Chains A and B, each alone.
Chain A
Amino acid sequence: MSIEVTNLTKQYGLQKAIDNISFQVNTGEILGLLGPNGAGKTTTMKIITCFMAPTGGDVKVNNISIYEDKKKIKKKIGYLPEDNPLYFEMPVLEYLFFTAELQSIKKSVIPDRIREMVHVCGLDIEKHKKIGELSKGYRQRVGLAQAMIHDPEILILDEPTTGLDPNQIIEIRKLIREVGKEKTVILSTHILSEVEATCNRILIINQGKIVADGTSAMLRKQAQGEEILRIQISEYTNNDLVASALQSLETVGMIDPVSDSPGSFMVQSKNKQSSRKSIFQLCVQNNWILTELTPIETKLEDIFRELTTN
């Protein structure tokens, strides 16, 4: 089941919340929507779930446009809205039953579906309580359970792991990855490590525009210019000698000794060249003991900052 977003625009007054964005998500993809607050992530999700109409552009879910048959699209989507709104006065089971009925699940299958959701989302101990009595983490699980109750082919999750403790976060991520194998998942988050851990594609939005699209490895490669290595040579303390030897290597661009640990250097190679081999050979020639040779990856945080700050 594919989602096709073309030239989508949403305007609030004079401000454009999303500005002419286009992308496509296919089955088996877990797309992470990343962006600073107010970038347009939630608005995009609200439009895909047919809660809001766009100012311009179109969204097609499995080739059905949101202008054609909203009900058909809604039936295929499981949605967890931002801040996870729920009917606090309803007991968990009753609420799940209510959603199941609204999503046109056959009456005979509903108890099985509820049982499965309670199991999958770990709600067993709390299932008879009213939603308002639950802790934030459990409410989040109820939110996930109601989103997945009709076994939707598309899952749209707006910040699914907020308010969960680390153990729960890991569980939910595992669950999303599991579900994402056969389904189409779009999730938004602020947490960068979350995107890396769960998503196989990242879309960074800033001020309503897409500024990056690709896997985390692709984004890294794009952002990374020169190779940076951290090396350490132990049992040899003449820093200047080592530094000048390193500098004399053909591929090395810049050297920066690490101030508080003697024998450590940050070595930046020249553009599109790698100096790992030559550093190793240099150490062998001089009988230096190389104890560390670590390539420093550009962090996703850096890419994010670079793309979303002007």
Chain B
Amino acid sequence: MDKIWVITVRELRTFFDSLTAYILIVLFLGLSGFFTWLFGSDIFFIGQATLQPFFSVAYWTLFFFIPALTMKMLAEEKKSGTIELLLTKAVTDWQVIFGKFLACLLLIIIALLLTLPYYITLLWLGPIDTGVVICGYIGLILMSTVYIGIGLFASSITSNQIVAFLLSLVIGVFFLIIFNVFANSFTGLLGEIFNYLNLQTHFDSLARGVVDTRDIIYFLSISLFALILAETSLSKRNIVD
């Protein structure tokens, strides 16, 4: 566990030493703030004290931002050769993957924490259901674990960051849109499977304030599966190179 933390701290430090973290946070807050408060079907347009507009904006912004975070995680290390340095230290491949996963997740959580003023503002404006807000945040965090998992997997199979970025977007689109389309066009068992795989179904129920263990299991199992794939592809060097 302490090794995982050592790697996490290093990655987080790299985020904040480079401009990555700041750009991401500023863009995330700017975009989500703009659409939550100022533009389109914002909070004033709805006329209810709810963070729903924020959650739907964050749902999309995170979809683009997380691949930008994860793309360099393994691809860059593979390109520069530092992966060899890292993996010949007394750590396992799992600790490396999980440490990086945790670093990305922590950065997302920091970005989400910075949106707390939205909630505080709403408290002033009207009666807000705090339970729903907490569920929405949990939903965003769980959704992020899925995207981070996918992003790390994409980053583990290539040494080109752009390829990793695009690949994780492509895989992400399946969970975000394409499975939904399939779910509507298939009936019976197949339709149900695609409906289960569709990320939106699970996220929407959480954002509405319904905590279902099935949804939580969905998010965690998909991110775990993606991490297992990432680990497998990282340790593939043991078979072919």
Contacts and interface: CB of A to CB of B under 8 A. Distances in A.
B80 interface: yes
A74 B14 contact: no
Interface in A244-295: none
Given A81-B81, A81-B84, A98-B10, A51 B237 contact: yes
A71 B90 contact: yes
Contact of A102 (B3, B17, B18, B238): B3
A310 interface: no
Contact of A74 (B7, B13, B80, B89): B89
A51 B84 contact: yes
B88 A51 contact: yes
A140 to B, nearest CB: 14
A86 B6 CA distance: 17
Interface in A102-116: 102-104
A219 interface: no
B239 interface: yes
Contact of B88 (A49, A82, A89, A94): A49
A52 B85 contact: no
A219 B7 CA distance: 46
Contacts of B88: 49-51, 74, 77, 79, 81
A12 B241 contact: yes
A166 interface: no
Interface in B1-18: 2-3, 6-7, 10, 13-14, 17-18
Contacts of A70: 92
A88 B72 CA distance: 14
A156 to B, nearest CB: 9
B6 A102 contact: yes
A83 B89 CA distance: 17
Contact of B82 (A74, A82, A86, A101): A86
Interface residues of B, number: 26
Query: B10, B13, B88, B241: which has the most chain A beta carbons within 10 Å?
Result: B88
Q: Say what secondary structure dominates the interface of chain A.
A: loop
A49 B89 CA distance: 9
Interface string A77-102: 10101110111111000100011011
B87 interface: yes
B238 A52 contact: yes
A98 B6 contact: yes
A220 interface: no
B91 interface: yes
Interface in B87-116: 87-92
A136 to B, nearest CB: 15
B120 interface: no
Contacts of A75: 90
Given A81-B84, A85-B84, A86-B82, A102 B91 contact: yes
Interface string B59-93: 00000000000000000000011101111111110
B80 A85 contact: yes
B89 A103 contact: yes
A53 interface: yes
Interface string B1-43: 0110011001001100110000000000000000000000000
B189 interface: no
A89 B14 contact: yes
A102 B6 CA distance: 7
Contacts of B90: 71, 74-75, 102-104
A8 to B, nearest CB: 14
Q: Which of A12, A13, A51, A77 gathers the greatest number of chain B CB atoms within 10 Å?
A: A51
A85 B82 contact: yes
Indicate the member of A46, A49, A87, A90 with the most B CB atoms within 10 Å.
Answer: A87
Contacts of A98: 6, 10
A89 B18 contact: yes
Contacts of A85: 80-82, 84-85
Contacts of B14: 87, 89-90
B85 A81 contact: yes
Contacts of B86: 102
A76 B84 CA distance: 16
Listed residue (A52, A94, A99) with the most chain B CB atoms within 10 angstroms of its CB: A52
A176 to B, nearest CB: 19
B6 A53 contact: no
Contacts of A50: 88
Given A51-B237, A52-B238, A71-B90, A89 B10 contact: no
A85 B82 CA distance: 5
Given A52-B241, A104-B3, 5 more contacts: A71-B92, A82-B81, A87-B14, A89-B14, A102-B89
9 contacts: A50-B88, A52-B238, A53-B239, A70-B92, A71-B92, A74-B90, A86-B85, A87-B82, A101-B3
Top 5 A-B pairs, shortest CB-CB distance: A85-B81, A53-B238, A75-B90, A102-B89, A49-B88
